[in-house]
Structure 1
């Protein structure tokens, strides 16, 4: 999936040097510092040599990316480009200095590039049948297994997961569901008819092979929608849920005559200074008024009956240090429901030390960010190393899960 130059040469031999990696993605700058002892030939090989200090320690070939932190610099010399043929390129500029003194003359100034490969893909902006989003079709001879990807409370859509799925042989539709032209402006209520059109669009697409249905991959609000889709829509074969509620939360869902009223939440939380973390953001996981127990009438009205759809397989990813929502509570509830229903095909993955935003591997760790939907600086939780490990492990699990279930001829399979 990722290719990167990670070898430095021409440095003073047997000398402590500091690699200072810097990157800018859209308007945000990130940087990483790592100290290495050069080899006898004046080289540093990140895939073999140990970092002896800085933002990470030990042999970490991609550490200079996943250990990045928000930069304090106003300007960062780097770029983010999407080139023709839709190769996504992240460009990193690295200063190499004696020891840890960044004021010393630069010893080397290599330019590193990471390529998220999708050779000759088809990228299609979708603006038809009321749908909005971007469809990625893999290169090569199709048709291919298909998925719909959805993010959380972000207006429009983010394409990176869909693009990476396509680079791994899966046709992926990055679906927007609010906040852009042609869609509702807010998330006060969600009509599942919109998502039904998206499923039917994928099922009927000539480049999608889905005799038993498609997959749905959702994060946060997108995961909540995925559970709802599994409950009330046909054509769903499997679901990947990442840190999302299995019931209507923050907004109602409805499908024809059926309504799932949302579980209430406490907006006054933003006046509680005790919930402002040392990381510099609000810890919002206590925002929902969670049901007292599984027999709570409010939960019964809001709960999606996804667990009764025995032909749908589930992979549930849970960050145990999620400060944004009570992900562990959600995962435990999902597991109880699936066990009670005697569901034959599910897996719950729990990740200690991981924060809310489980992205593909080697993404820079994002602990605090402005949650534009509610105009609040949010602490998403997690620790850098454990979060990085969780992203790498979960991504491999996601790809294996999707290929296994979407390429299988059988309707339902036992637990993975």
Structure 2
């Protein structure tokens, strides 16, 4: 490495996962062209990498907040482009960062264009999922399986139920980051977690009712009602939670459906919604080896499927709907438009809707690698998720801020109640 070239990450090389850093290089020759690279290994050992070519200014400095990439994984001024543009060496890999205990470690480096890319400088960025002082408590109580995240301090704090998926491991990313911003968050997986059955045939709202009651009993939770945050299949579960269960004041729906999908929904041992099913003959294969499944879900508005529609007009709380217009999992934008129209027909104004052109299905907390395709647990094959990387990354930044504002606005806290509980 060159002793005079310096690579700096500002304000610090240690930050939260959802915080931007300013990448700066100094000590280069005037107008020198170099390649900046970033690399990270996920929890499965899969390597993700990106690179971009930059030209230094007259003083030998590069500032990614100011200077455009000339070529590489992206072009133009993209301060965090090296992070969101990272790709795996093999196709159809989704970056796995599930456990909140370990930081997302990214190695940045500066390379000469000549001399076989000799490294001139490097720096390591540790991107933590929890702020110092946030507690993490695994929960295995009654039927509940999940993890509870609690911010430091006396509170009171708003309580949020985080729904992830019905298969595989529990993702702690959203929950731990929200806790770092002052929310008590219980992240649960309804089925297929630890000792729970994996070959599920139905969903029960009773499970989520139990989880909400557990969350409300936590000493630091003093919000007048709880929030729910969801993505994809759990979006329709969140709609049903908000529509049928009391004390849900704020529901975040991201790229879900307006109807109960895939599995019938039960409450108090009675079926309340049949499942809106899919037609796998409408899967569209592509040359990449991943398929397009956007058109496989049956029409929820067809007469024979209307019993699967969730009656969101029953909900007492508020909704935040967010849809990626290029979602290739299903037509999230059309589902969102139908829900907005339904609420308006019932004279409701308890919602906000956000539509993101160029965004795909997996809208997550910002600055993680964009996922164009990966394995779909229902289809049982590799699928395309849609989206253009730059637009998708921008949507994640905007949505993440809106989610926090929405939850704070609609989950007011009672300090007196919190002190009484303590």
Q: Which of the pair has the greater relative contact order for Cα pairs under 8 Å at 6+ separation?
A: 2
Residues paired across the two proteins, number? 391
**Residue 289 (str. 1) matches residue 294 (str. 2):** no
CA contact (8 A) 2:22 2:64 kept: no
Distance of 1:45 and 1:221 partners within structure 2: 41
Aligned partner of 2:305 among 292, 298, 315: 298
Aligned-pair distance for 1:49? 2.3
Distance of 1:333 and 1:45 partners within structure 2: 44
Distance of 2:98 and 2:257 partners within structure 1: 34
Aligned-pair distance for 1:282? 1.1
Aligned-pair distance for 1:38? 1.6
CA contact (8 A) 1:153 1:373 kept: no
Which structure 1 segments of 5+ residues have no match? 74-78, 410-416
Runs of 4+ in 1 over 6 A off after TM superposition: 79-82
Query: Which residue is equivalent to 1:250?
Result: 262
**Residue 241 (str. 1) matches residue 250 (str. 2):** no
Q: Describe the superposition over 1:49-108 as per-residue Cα deviations: whole angstroms up to 9, x where unpaired.
A: 2222222223222111012222359xxxxx9897xxx67522222332233x69332222
Distance of 1:12 and 1:108 partners within structure 2: 14
CA contact (8 A) 2:326 2:357 kept: yes
**1:30-41 superposed matches below 5 A:** 30-41=48-59
Distance of 2:164 and 2:386 partners within structure 1: 18
Query: Which residue is equivalent to 2:8?
Result: none
CA contact (8 A) 1:216 1:240 kept: yes
TM-score with structure 1 setting the length? 0.88
TM-score with structure 2 setting the length? 0.87
Aligned-pair distance for 1:185? 1.2
CA contact (8 A) 1:312 1:345 kept: yes
Give the secondary-structure state (helix, strand or coil) at the position aligned to 1:2: coil
Query: Which residue is equivalent to 2:5?
Result: none
Distance of 2:329 and 2:384 partners within structure 1: 7
CA contact (8 A) 1:81 1:89 kept: no
Give the secondary-structure state (helix, strand or coil) at the position aligned to 1:318: strand
CA contact (8 A) 1:136 1:166 kept: yes
Q: Describe the superposition over 1:148-183 as per-residue Cα deviations: whole angstroms up to 9, x where unpaired.
A: 111234424200000010011011111111112332
**Residue 16 (str. 1) matches residue 8 (str. 2):** no
CA contact (8 A) 2:50 2:86 kept: yes
CA contact (8 A) 2:209 2:245 kept: yes
Aligned partner of 1:173 among 175, 180, 186: 186
Moved more, 163-172 or 179-188: 179-188
Give the secondary-structure state (helix, strand or coil) at the position aligned to 1:22: strand
Cα separation, partners in 2 of 1:103 and 1:95, compared to 1, 3 Å = farther
CA contact (8 A) 2:167 2:193 kept: no
CA contact (8 A) 1:279 1:379 kept: no
**Residue 142 (str. 1) matches residue 155 (str. 2):** yes
Query: Which residue is equivalent to 1:125?
Result: 138
**Residue 308 (str. 1) matches residue 314 (str. 2):** yes
Cα separation, partners in 2 of 1:175 and 1:107, compared to 1, 3 Å = same
Q: CA RMSD in A?
A: 2.3
Distance of 2:249 and 2:66 partners within structure 1: 42
Query: Which residue is equivalent to 1:48?
Result: 66
Distance of 2:385 and 2:86 partners within structure 1: 16
Query: Which residue is equivalent to 1:366?
Result: 371
Distance of 2:68 and 2:123 partners within structure 1: 19
Aligned partner of 2:347 among 342, 345, 359: 342
**Residue 152 (str. 1) matches residue 168 (str. 2):** no
CA contact (8 A) 2:41 2:48 kept: yes
Cα separation, partners in 2 of 1:265 and 1:92, compared to 1, 3 Å = same
Distance of 1:381 and 1:63 partners within structure 2: 18
CA contact (8 A) 1:81 1:88 kept: no
**Residue 219 (str. 1) matches residue 236 (str. 2):** no
